[in-house]
Amino acid sequence: MKTNGHKPSPAAHLPKCPTGIQGLDEITDGGLPRGRPTLVCGGAGCGKTLLAAEFLVRGAVQFDEPGVFMAFEETEKELTANVASLGFDLAGLVRRKKISLDYVHIEPGEMQESGEYDLEGLFVRLNHAIDSIGAKRVVLDTLEALFAGLRNEAILRSELRRLFRWLKDKGVTAVITAERGREQLTRHGLEEYVSDCVILLDHRVNDQIATRHLRVVKYRGALHGTNEFPFLIGDEGISVLPITSLGLNHKISSERISTGIPRLDAMLGGRGFFRGSSILLTGTPGTGKTIVAANFAQAAALRGERTLFFSFEESPNQIIRNTLSIGLRLEPLVKRGLLRFHAARPSLYGLEMHLATMFKEIATFQPRVVIIDPITSLMDAGTASECRAMVTRLVDYLKAGQVTTLFTSLTQAGHALQQSEASMSSLMDSWLLLQDTEGNGERNRVLYVLKARGMAHSNQIREFLISDRGIDLVDAYIGASGVLTGSARAAQGALEKAAVLATQQEAARRKRELERKREAIERQISGLRSDHESETMELRRIDEQVGTSTLMLTTERTASGILRQADAKVTTNTRRDPRQGRKIS
């Protein structure tokens, strides 16, 4: 429906008259049809007069378009007082000739009618008012009062038709308010005359919570948002909160910011969250959501980033005191203006009002990090669909400003964690889960990263310890017997240690044994070696003995041979042989 970004040429477009009312110009893609009358209808107390008045005041102040306010129900004084509560200085604008007020007094029964008449008197007054200040805008609030004052309806209707024609000819952008009728848009069928633009206001009560809605029923010749949009009347006038006017085209940062808990950063790919992302932190009661949030807030503030902490459960002082007990020092940061708390009870006012207040706080403080603790408290202030719409708007609004937001969310014990937040989690970029595990007569906190868009993250469950030094994340024991935390984890650790020790001792014993064996063998080896050596000696001695005796024998034989004069040659050969044999041995 919306033509954001690529606007068609102005020639093809109906000229628009910006209202300056927050959100309304987005729905109508630029404002009300310029130079034509617009009908604003709705029941009692839904803000018709206020919308009309704001249209006029903003026109005079922001767009330099003076306006005429013709009131049929409230006197000038009443009107000035009523809109003063929204910060509009009507009297000042009247003095500066930016706005002309004209109260048309109609007292039914005070006037007698006799014969024909026309409403030229009204035309004269209007014309005079328009011309005296050069008005471009006109408000007629509530024209239908004429029906109560004038009996001749035939004349009245024809005169009204003439009036709207006249307004168009005059070229003023007019807003005509009318009371809502039972079966038609207005009680007296004014929509019949105003055919260019009709806006319907509505004030409904759902579950004891009243919400105002605005719908553009008709806008001839222009595209417009057809949905019903919640709107509210704050202390700066009306703001319509169109969910659809925010697109998914915000700028993206790849900068990462620390969570304030080093081990948690490590779980998120080592560098923490993306700047401008939205983070959901769910947990059952007492799992430390606020503490994680306070850590994040402190880390941001210490980096010098302005941080806004919306607290819907605890007072700021209570948070400061409680977090001091775990070593967080928030008070100096508050004093330095880096950290601001905004605390309000969720039941204080309706959802839309909360949203508007938050928008206002964000707009004035300009934070880089916003913490909402917890978002679920606000859920009580509206119906589920409204809450979702509200969170969407908040997320979009913050993302558009590249504000990193941490929402904590309380899950009632016994609910399925993932399911209860499913509607909200799709809006979030990261989702951390804090959980209690019960066992061994104790409750222990665990934390895990359920999702983290666009970053590598740990799939592990970590045990989450809160001590007076702060938060620590400990590897939980994960084994065959499941996730062990607390004393069970410690016991398991001791068990493992004992087992390791036993293995070490066993190894040492076996080593010693082998050493002993080796030594024994060595001893044996050296024994054998000495045996071997003595035997060799023996052998040599034997050889020598044999050699000597042979020599002696040969010598004797030679000698006897010489004596007998036997063949000498043979004997020399035999004499050499034994020598050789000795050498070999």
Partner 1 sequence: MKTKTVKRRATVSKRQPAKLWQLRLYVMDSTAKSQTAFANLKRLCESHLKGIYRIKVIDLLKHPHLAKGAQILAIPTVVRKLPKPVRTILGNLSDTERVLVGLDLRPVN
Tokens of 424: 């909200």
Q: Which stretch binds partner 1 (CB under 8 A): 112-120, 227-235, 240-248, 465-473?
A: 112-120
Sheet of 228-234, strands arranged across: 99-103, 67-71, 137-141, 173-179, 37-42, 197-206, 209-219, 228-234, 237-240
- In the set 86, 91, 94, 106, which binds partner 1 (CB under 8 A)? 106
Closest approach of partner 1 to the CB of residue 152, in Å: 8
Would you give the DSSP letter of residue 181?
Answer: P
* C-alpha closest to that of 269 among 451, 447, 464: 451
The reply to whether 76 sits near partner 1 by the rule CB under 8 A is no
Residue 108 contacts partner 1 per CB under 8 A: no
Active site residue 313: yes
Which CB sits closer to partner 1, 120 or 556? 120
User: Which region, judged by CB under 8 A, interacts with partner 1, from 111-119, 188-196, 321-329, 516-524?
Assistant: 111-119
Structure tokens at 396: 């979009």
Of 116, 183, 468, 567, the one binding partner 1 (CB under 8 A) is 116
Least distance CB 4 / partner 1 (angstroms)? 44
Q: Which of 81, 124, 494, 520 binds partner 1 (CB under 8 A)?
A: 124
- Residue labelled with tokens 């209690």: 436
> Cα 204 to the chain's mean position, in Å?
30
Tokens 């947990």, located at residue = 283
How far apart are alpha carbons 161 and 165 in whole angstroms?
6
**Residue 149 interacts with partner 1 (CB under 8 A): yes or no:** yes
Q: Is 231 left (phi over 0), alpha (psi -120 to 50) or beta?
A: beta
Question: Catalytic one among 192, 313, 314, 331?
Answer: 313
DSSP 8-state code for residue 476: P
Q: Give least dist CB 124 to partner 1, A.
A: 5
- Report the alpha-carbon distance of residue 188 to residue 226 in Å, rounded: 24
Query: What's the rounded Cα separation, in Å, for the pair 93 and 60?
Result: 8
Q: Which stretch binds partner 1 (CB under 8 A): 98-106, 251-259, 325-333, 520-528?
A: 98-106
267 binds partner 1 (CB under 8 A): no
Residue 505 · residue 511 · CB < 8 Å: no
Range in contact with partner 1 (rule: CB under 8 A) among 114-122, 284-292, 498-506, 518-526: 114-122
244 burial (CB, 10 Å; 0-12 / 13-18 / 19+) is middle
179 is catalytic: no
Minimum Å gap between C-beta 150 and partner 1 is 7
* Residue 13 in contact with partner 1, rule: CB under 8 A: no
Q: Closest approach of Cβ 179 to partner 1, in Å?
A: 19
Residue with tokens 């589920």: 384
112 touches partner 1 by CB under 8 A: yes
Contact residues for partner 1 (CB under 8 A)?
A: 102, 104-106, 110-122, 124-125, 127-129, 146, 149-150
Name the residues annotated as catalytic: 73, 313
